């Protein structure tokens, strides 16, 4: 993974330098675009824990991002903007939702698991659409950002930017440590042969449910950051299309490979932005490009970089 590690190091250095680079090119637009990419990277990393390491393809993962975003938006609107209140509430709601829906979904497997997570995700989407006091289908505009423990860190785009970057790095390191632990090894073994893992005395259900809850909490934290970055929350955040986008990021970046989800998220955001500046019908180009990249870059971007690093 030398090539992927080197590429990740270069990316993190460029990310850290973005506010400085924005002074010369792109301005606040560049900063906002990179913040969006990093937030999606956090959400994609959480989904990769399920798909790449546990073999669980969730088509409702964006629901957790929506939970984080709406919890933040509602609490700010109701006069409780401090992160000291928002974060525990977000974690509690996301964990409870993941625990309940995960316990039900994990009774199934394969396409049935995909469909039931899709159903739960759509339940969240329609629930958010019905919140007429908080914008309903039109979404909710936030007139202020959350109070970052009284520090004023979120008052400027620069402060929010480096908070998002620090969160991305922390999530990357925590998941790397988790995947390298006994928990991660059992999770990967259960992906290959759950019957053998059960015969060794491990509860595959318990390990998978724990991974599902962890992934849900991380995605919800991405939602908290998204609400503050966009200063707007919408039911579309939890739509199945957003879950599909996250899956594409994981697959394109390299499922189960180090930094793969991050590479995928950055690639998707930059491709969308670059193509949209060329033509209004950019999706006609974007779709075939994705197909070709998936077909001819086995292991995704991270896999391709790994091969390059070995040569």
Report the 3 state secondary structure along 181-224. CHHHHHHHHHHHCHHHHHHCCCCHHHHHHHHHHHHHHHHHHHHH
How far CA 293 is from CA of 47, 63, 185, 254, in Å, comes to 20, 27, 29, 11
DSSP string, 278-309: H-TTTHHHHHHHHHHHHHHSTTHHHHHHHHHH
Do 16 and 272 meet the contact criterion of CB atoms below 8 Å apart?
no
- Nearest 5°: the CA angle 39, 43, 47 is 160
pLDDT at 308: 63
Q: What percent of the chain has pLDDT over 70?
A: 97
CA–CA distance, 218 with 122 (Å, rounded to integer):
20
pLDDT at 151: 84
pLDDT at 282: 76
307 Cα distance to chain centroid: 26
pLDDT digits (tens, 9 = 90+) for 36-82: 999 999 999 999 999 999 999 999 999 999 999 999 999 999 988 99
pLDDT at 1: 47
CA–CA distance, 83 with 237 (Å, rounded to integer):
21
Structure-token pair, residue 196: 């053998």
CA–CA distance, 293 with 249 (Å, rounded to integer):
12
Percent of the chain as helix, strand, coil, to the nearest 5: 80, 0, 20
pLDDT at 3: 65
pLDDT at 123: 96
Residue spans of the chain under pLDDT 70: 1-4, 297, 307-311
H/E stretch holding 140 reads strand 140-141
pLDDT at 309: 55
pLDDT at 59: 94
Note the pTM of the prediction, 2 decimals. Answer: 0.93
- Nearest 5°: the CA angle 256, 260, 261 is 95
Do 77 and 134 meet the contact criterion of CB atoms below 8 Å apart?
yes
pLDDT at 310: 55
CA–CA distance, 293 with 118 (Å, rounded to integer):
26
Only one residue has tokens 């019957």, namely 195
pLDDT at 2: 63
């Amino acid at each position: 993974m030398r090539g992927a590690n080197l590429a990740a190091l270069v990316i993190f250095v460029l990310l850290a330098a973005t506010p400085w680079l924005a002074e010369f090119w792109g301005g606040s637009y560049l900063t906002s675009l990179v913040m969006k990419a990093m937030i999606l990277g956090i959400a994609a990393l959480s989904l990769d824990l399920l798909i790449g390491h546990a073999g669980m393809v969730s088509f409702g993962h964006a629901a957790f991002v929506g939970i984080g975003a709406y919890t933040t938006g509602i609490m700010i609107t109701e006069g409780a903007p401090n992160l000291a209140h928002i974060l525990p509430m977000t974690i509690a709601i996301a964990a409870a939702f993941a625990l309940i829906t995960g316990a039900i979904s994990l009774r199934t497997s394969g396409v049935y698991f995909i469909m039931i997570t899709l159903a739960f995700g759509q339940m969240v989407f329609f629930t958010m659409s019905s919140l007429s006091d908080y914008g309903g289908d039109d979404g909710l505009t936030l007139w202020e950002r959350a109070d970052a423990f009284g520090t004023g860190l979120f008052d400027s785009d620069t402060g929010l930017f480096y908070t998002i970057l620090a969160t991305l790095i922390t999530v990357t390191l925590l998941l790397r440590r988790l995947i390298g632990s006994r928990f991660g090894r059992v999770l990967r073994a259960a992906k290959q042969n759950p019957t053998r893992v059960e015969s060794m005395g491990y509860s595959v259900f318990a390990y998978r449910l724990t991974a599902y809850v962890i992934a849900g909490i991380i995605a919800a934290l991405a939602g908290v950051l998204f609400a503050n970055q966009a200063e707007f929350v919408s039911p579309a955040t939890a739509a199945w299309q957003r879950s599909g986008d996250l899956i594409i990021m994981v697959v394109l970046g390299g499922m189960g490979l180090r930094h793969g989800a991050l590479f995928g998220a950055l690639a998707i955001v930059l491709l969308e932005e670059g193509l949209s500046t060329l033509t209004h019908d950019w999706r006609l180009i974007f779709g075939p490009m994705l197909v070709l990249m998936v077909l001819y870059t086995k292991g995704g971007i991270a896999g391709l970089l790994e091969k390059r690093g070995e040569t």
